[in-house]
Amino acid sequence: MAIIETNSLTRYFGQIVAVDNLNLTVEEGEIFGLIGPNGAGKTTTIKMLTTLLPPTSGRASIAGFDIRHQSAQVRKVIGYVPQLISADSTLSGYENLLIFAKLYDLPQSEREKRVRGALHFMGLDEVADKLVKNYSGGMIRRLEIAQSMLHRLRLLFLDEPTVGLDPAARRAVWEHIMDLRNQFGTTIFLTTHLMDEADELCTRVAIMHLGKVAAIGSPAELKKAVGRGEDVSLDEVFIHFTGNELDEGGNFRDVSRTRRVARRLG
Amino acid sequence: MSFAQRHLKRIYSFIYKTLVIAELEARKLRHDPTELFTRAVQPALWLLVFGQVFTRVRAIPTGNIPYIDFMTPGILAQSVLFIAIFYGIAIIWERDLGVVHKFLVSPTPRAALVLGKALSAGLRGLAQGFIIIVLALILRVHLNFNILALFGVAVAVILGSALFSTFSLIVACIVKTRERFMGIGQVLTMPLFFASNAIYPISIMPSWLKVVSHLNPLTYEVDILRRLMLLGGTSSYGVGVDLLVLILATGILVVIGAVMYPKVVV
Ligand SMILES: Nc1ncnc2c1ncn2[C@@H]1O[C@H](COP(=O)(O)OP(=O)(O)OP(=O)(O)O)[C@@H](O)[C@H]1O
Ligand SMILES: [Mg+2]
Residue A182 sits in a domain of what CATH number? 3.40.50.300
Q: How far apart are CA B174 and CA B168, in angstroms?
A: 10
- A220, A46 in Cβ contact below 8 A? no
Is residue A262 very low, low, confident or very high in pLDDT (cuts 50, 70, 90)? very low
Residue A201 lies in a domain: yes
By CB atoms closer than 10 A (0-12, 13-18, 19+), residue A232 is middle
Candidate from A43, A49, A157, A192 with most ligand 1 atoms within 8 A of CB, to mutate: A43
Torsional sign, CA B75, B76, B80, B86: positive
CA distances from residue A16 to A30, A39, A40, B215 in whole angstroms, order as listed: 31, 11, 11, 43
Residue A161 lies in a domain: yes
- A125, B67 in Cβ contact below 8 A? no
Residue A186 is given by DSSP the state -
Residue A11 lies in a domain: no
Length in residues, chain B: 266
- Ligand 1 atom closest to the Cα of residue A47 is 18
Residue A121 lies in a domain: no
Enumerate residues lining ligand 1, CB below 6 A.
A 13, 16, 18, 36, 38-44, 83, 193
- Ligand 1 atom closest to the Cα of residue A83 is 27
Tens of pLDDT, residue by residue over B193-236, are: 999 999 999 989 999 999 999 999 999 999 999 999 999 899 99
- Closest CB to A75: pick one of B13, B107, B266: B107
Number of separate domains in chain A: 1
> End-to-end CA distance of chain A, in Å?
38
Residue A172 lies in a domain: yes
Tens of pLDDT, residue by residue over A33-62, are: 999 888 899 999 999 999 999 999 999 999
Which protein residue's CA is at the shortest distance from atom 22 of ligand 1? Answer: A43
Residue A133 lies in a domain: no
- Tell me, what's the pLDDT at A229? 64
Please give the mean pLDDT across all residues of chain A.
Answer: 86
Please enumerate in sequence order all residues whose Cβ is within 8 A of that of B53, keeping only pairs 6 or more positions apart, or say none. Answer: none
- In this predicted structure, the answer to whether residue B158 has a pLDDT above a threshold of 90 is yes
Residue A228 lies in a domain: yes
Residues with CB under 5 A from ligand 2 (ion): A 42-43, 83
Residue A129 lies in a domain: no
Triad B148, B149, B155: Cα angle to 5°: 90
Number of separate domains in chain B: 1
Residue A126 is given by DSSP the state G
Pick the closest to residue B73 from B253, B228, B215 (CA basis).
B228
Please enumerate in sequence order all residues whose Cβ is within 8 A of that of B148, keeping only pairs 6 or more positions apart, or say none. Answer: none
Least confidently predicted of A76-80, A145-149, B157-161 = A145-149
Distance, CA A159 to ligand 2 centroid (Å)? 7
Give the chain B residue whose CA is nearest to the CA of A76: B107
Q: Residues A117-141: what's their mean pLDDT? A: 92
Residues of A in contact with B102 (CB under 8 A): 80-82, 86, 100
3-state secondary structure of A184: helix
Q: How far apart are CA B168 and CA B171, in angstroms?
A: 5
- In this predicted structure, the answer to whether residue B113 has a pLDDT above a threshold of 70 is yes
% chain A with pLDDT above 70: 89
Residues spanned by the domain of B174: 3-265
Is residue B149 very low, low, confident or very high in pLDDT (cuts 50, 70, 90)? very high
- In this predicted structure, the answer to whether residue A116 has a pLDDT above a threshold of 90 is yes
CA distances from residue B47 to A215, B67, B198, B230 in whole angstroms, order as listed: 69, 10, 12, 15
- Ligand 1 atom closest to the Cα of residue A41 is 18
- In this predicted structure, the answer to whether residue B40 has a pLDDT above a threshold of 70 is yes
Residues of A in contact with B115 (CB under 8 A): none
- In this predicted structure, the answer to whether residue A252 has a pLDDT above a threshold of 50 is no
Is residue A260 very low, low, confident or very high in pLDDT (cuts 50, 70, 90)? very low
- Tell me, what's the pLDDT at A102? 95
